[in-house]
Each structure stands twice: as structure tokens, then as C-alpha cells.
Amino acid sequence: MSTAENQNLPYELLGRYFSGEATPEEAMTVDDWIREHRDHRELYDQVAAIWDDAGLQQRYQLPDRTAVLQELKARMATRPVVGKVLPLGRIAAAVALLVGVAAILIFVLRSHNGPQALALVSKRTGAAIQRDTLPDQSTVVLNSYASLQYASGFQDTVRLVKLSGEAWFDVTSRPDKPFIVAVGDIRVQVLGTSFNVRQSDSAIAVMVKTGAVKMSRGDSSIQVKAGQEGVYHIARKELGLTAGAFKTNQLGYATRVFNFENITLKEIVTQLEKAYGIQVVFEHKALEGCTMSSTFENKPIEYVFEVISVTLNVTCRIEKDKVYISGAGCGG
Amino acid sequence: MDIHFGKAKDQDKLVEECFHTYFEGLHRYAFTILKDNDEAKDAVQAVFLKLWEKRAEINEQQSVKSYLYTAVYHYCLNVKRHEKVKDNYLAQRPPAFEHRNELVSKETHRQIMEHIDNLSPQCRLIFSKSRFEGRKYAEIAADLGLSVKTVEVQMGKALKILRAKLFDVMVMILFACLFL
């Protein structure tokens, strides 16, 4: 490239462009100029590289155009739209992820001196759920057959926990120390909120009750706000929001908040058993099929069964952690 | 190579054509304002969805290209306005993860910083305020008691000098390697 050619470069325009000052007209001028000549493209790339490399922030990366178009077409076809992000599936993203994970690992390993600091806390549940308080006073409720791991004391710059299965988190706000749940392929990052993570063979679902979280995989991510559910489809490697309503009962095991709508007593007690750690015995099998609707917001177990007995005209007898239901039955 | 909507043409096909022609430029533009690849992508998609919905109404004479760039611009400014009032859950993103530029070698970064240090004091100050503090030209001008035009000129100068120094060095290294 000749010096004379360099003199004609629109450096001031590029400065405005990279600084985010360019008007739409100026942006068009930049793009037309880039297309004008192969050398222009090269020079643009050089200046862009300097701009990117000078900062330690996110670099510019063109997303996979085909993936974006496919996603766009899907959204055009199915209005109303749900926020949906396709992974870029790029080598660079994978490299960045690996470097990131390696950096965290190195950091986690390095920032601890002494044998007790390296200790990992592992928790695992069988059929019974487990309620727990983490070192930062956040609470976690592990659903059946789940496991959770974290460094004891949470002394790192982040509060990182590794989950498999389902768990409910109520995270204390610590803006300086983000709380991160690593589950399968993805990570859920929060600063202070309550949410549920459920990992199954086909998907990882995050339901947010308060605040907001960020679900990410590589460099694609979505924000899930209160009342929403974000889903990661494992086979398709897709992140998206589900369109359906917030399923309160899904979280009942942890929150003890239930909204039963015309479902059978059998289904109701199955959820109550888990949430309250009780066992329900039907003295008459026919009672299992009775249906009712009711809402409970973290009520004592006595209250819940009081409502059930009044509504269905049955008798509920509570003995320690067992509840016996008897009576003539519903509807009569 | 502006594309115009014509009645005869299949509108659906046209939206797709526009996408292929302008996606890169629009995404790059959105990134300069939002500084976030995903947000930039969301912005461009939102604009194309709007175009899709309005495809029947758009005036035949109106350049779709300028419609798209203008729509992206306004969409991005709107996102930024919302970000300012957004509670600090995600606004205060910690540098620990996604915002760290893991792919830049320390050496490249060090070199660039060294060249930035060697710029004239005013030029360095203006470049740093824009690049590292993300200040608007108008803010920088007001801070330093200069005209916006001066800020613009100094920014251009900084980029020109940095490019010349960094890429001349690279060319020299390349030559050195060839002749060794």
C-alpha cells in the first residue's frame, strides 16, 4: 500500500464509527468505502484490529449469518416472538470458552493456599429433598437425585457451584461476587435473585422467580427475567424462552407455593410429600381420584390439610410426619 | 446497490436478499454503538422483523438500505437508554467472564498501549476517553473545552498513527522472518 493511498483514508470517519458516534449515513459511507476496494477492506481490518486489541472488552465477531437467518425466518413464521438465541457454533467461541474455563480453573486452584482451602463441598440427594444454606447465606434446595459441588468458603472472586439435576436457589445479593451455576453445557449467572434450575436428558430449564439471570453457552446468551423460563435444548444446542405461563407448582418442592387447578388429590399429595417431607396414606383408595383447586403460599402443613379436608369433606389426621386421609369421599 | 421494493417482486424473497446484502454492515454498525455482539445481533434481527411486518407498506421509492441503517441506529440508541435505567443485575457485569478479551495476546496489547502512550498528550487523552471510558465526543469536547471537530480530528490522528506504527512493525517482522 502506498503512502499516498494512506493519506486518503477516512481516519476521522473511522474514528467516529468505532467510537459509536456514526450516524446511519456515515455507517453507510463506511460500508460503501469498505466494499469499494480490496485494499480498503484490508485497511479497515487493520484499524478495527487496533481498536479491538487496545481494549480488554468484548471483541467484534460477526455471527454465523446462516444461523441468524434461520432464526429470523423461524421468528417471522411464528409471531408472537420468543427471545431465542442460536449458538454461533464457532471455533473461536469454543476456544474462548475453553480459555475461560481454564482461566477459572487456574484461578480457583491458585487462589487457594493450604489444604483446607482446596476442599470441595459435595452434596447429593436421594429421594428426599435437601435444604441447605451456602457459605454466603444463599439458600439452596436440592430436589431428588441431584448433586451440588462448590469450593468451601466461596473465597474466589465468583461464587461458582456445579449442579446436576434440579435445584432451587435463593441467592443473596453480592454485586462484587457473581453467583454462577454451571450445569451441563451452560452457565447461569446472577447477582442476587431466586430461581430454579432443572436438568433433564433433553433440556436444562431455568425458571426465575425474582430478579433476572443470564443463561449462556459459549458466547451466546439470553436473559431470563422474573416470571420467565429459559430453556437450553441439549441436542439442538439452542437457548430460548418458553412461551408458556410460569409453572408455580414446578417450584413447589422448594418454595411451598402451590397453585392447584382442578387436579387430583393424588397429584396434590405427591407434591406436598416432597415439599414438606411427609408421607400421606390414603385409607380409602377412592379418595385419590378426588379433584380440587386451591392456592397455598408457604402455609404450615396443618393449614394445608385443613383446607383439603374442608374442601373435599375428608378427614386428615397428622401423626408426626405421616398424614392419614379418610372419609366418605368427594362429591358426596 | 440499493434494493427497492417493487410490486412485481416477491416481498418475502426481497427481505431475505436484504438480509444477505446488509446483515454484516448492520451488525457491525450495531456493535459500534452497543459494544456487545449478542445485543448487536438482537438489534439487527429486531429491525428485520419490523421490516418483515411492514414489507407491504414500505414506499416503493424509499431506499430499504437507508431504512435499515436508520432503524438499527434508533433501535440501538433505545437499547442504550434502557440500559442506563436498568437495575444493576446485568449492567454491572463483572469482568471475570465474557467481557474479558481472552484472545488478545498480552504482547499485542502491551505494544498497542505503548504506542498509545507515545501519542501527543492531547491526542492520547482524547483517544483514551473515547476508547477506554466510552465517552461521547460531545462529552469529551465539553470536558476539555474543545470543539467536537477537534476531538474528531485527534481521534483520526490517533488511529492513523497507531495503524502506521503497528502495521509497519508487523511488515518489518514479516520481512525479517523471510530473510532469516
pLDDT reading at A77 higher than 70 = yes
Rounded to a whole number, what is the distance in Å from the CA of B180 to chain A's nearest CA? 24
List the domain boundaries for chain B.
11-91, 106-179
**Percentage of residues in chain A with pLDDT exceeding 70?**
82
Q: Could you tell me the three cell numbers for A115? A: 489444604
The whole-number pLDDT of residue B89 equals 47
Contacts of B125 (CB under 8 A, 6+ apart): B144
Q: Is the CB of residue A226 less than 8 Å away from at least one CB of chain B?
A: no
CATH topology of domain A84-248: Jelly Rolls (2.60.120)
Residue A265, pLDDT above cutoff 70: yes
Chain B contact for A119 (CB, 8 A cutoff) = no
Cell numbers linked to A157? 472472586
How far apart, in whole angstroms, are the C-alpha atoms of residue A132 and residue A170?
Answer: 11
Cα distance between residue A151 and residue A262, in whole Å:
44
- The more confidently predicted of residues B133 and A2 is B133
Tell whether ipTM is more than 0.85. Answer: no
pLDDT of residue A52 exceeding 70: yes
- Using a CB–CB cutoff of 8 Å, tell me whether A25 touches chain B: yes
Give the confidence band of A92 by pLDDT, cuts at 50, 70, 90: low
Give, as one character, the DSSP assignment of residue A84: E
| Residue contact B156–A68, C-beta within 8 A | no
Preceding peptide of A80 cis, ω within 30°: yes
Per-residue cell: A112: 487457594
* Assigned C-alpha cell, A133: 444454606
Q: Is A99 close to B88, i.e. CB distance below 8 A?
A: no
CA A215 to centroid of chain Cα atoms: 5
Distance CA A193, CA A171 (A): 5
Q: How far apart are CA B154 and CA B125, in angstroms?
A: 10
Other C-beta atoms closer than 10 Å to the C-beta of A53 total: 19
Give residue B94's pLDDT.
44
- Determine the distance in angstroms separating the CA of B6 from the nearest CA of chain A, rounded to an integer: 21
pLDDT grade, residue A31 (50/70/90)? very high
Tell me: pLDDT of A312 over 50: yes
Residue A325 near residue A281, CB atoms below 8 Å: yes
Residue A217 in grid coordinates:
453457552
Helix B37-53 / helix B11-34 crossing angle, nearest 10 deg: 150
Which class is domain B106-179?
A: mainly alpha
Can you give the residue ranges of every domain in chain A? Answer: 3-54, 84-248, 256-326
Calculate the average pLDDT of chain A.
81
Q: Tell me, what DSSP letter sits at residue B110?
A: H
**pLDDT at position B82:** 78
Mean pLDDT for the stretch of residues B124-144: 92
Cell, residue A66: 446462516
Whether A50 and B90 lie within 8 Å, measured CB to CB:
no
Q: What is the CATH number of domain A256-326?
A: 3.55.50.30
pLDDT on residue A97: 62
**A158 lies within 8 A of chain B by CB:** yes
Q: What is the CATH number of domain B11-91?
A: 1.10.1740
Tell which residue, B94, B65, B90, has the closest CA to residue B79: B90
Q: Does B48 contact chain A (CB < 8 Å)?
A: yes
For B17-36, write each residue's pLDDT tens digit: 888 889 999 999 999 999 98
The arithmetic mean of pLDDT across residues A88-114, rounded, is 55
For A13, half-sphere exposure in the C-beta direction (CA atoms, 13 angstrom radius) is 17
Instruction: Give the model confidence (pLDDT) of B54-90 as tens digits.
Output: 777 665 445 788 889 999 999 999 888 877 665 444 4
Q: Which of A7-11, A301-305, B174-178 has the lowest mean pLDDT?
A: B174-178
How many angstroms away from the CA of A290 is the closest CA of chain B? 45
DSSP codes of every residue in A312-324: HT-EEEEETTEEE
Range with the poorest average pLDDT among A116-125, A295-304, A319-328, B95-104: B95-104
Residue A284 clears pLDDT 80, i.e. is over it: yes
Distance of CA B7 to the CA centre of its chain: 34
Query: pTM of the entire structure?
Result: 0.46
Answer whether A214 sits within 8 Å of B167, measured CB to CB.
no
pLDDT over threshold 50, residue A4: no
- Cβ atoms of B140 and B152 within 8 Å: the answer is no
Q: What is the pLDDT of residue B26?
A: 96
Whether A68 and B45 lie within 8 Å, measured CB to CB: yes
Q: Grid coordinates in use for A209? A: 422467580
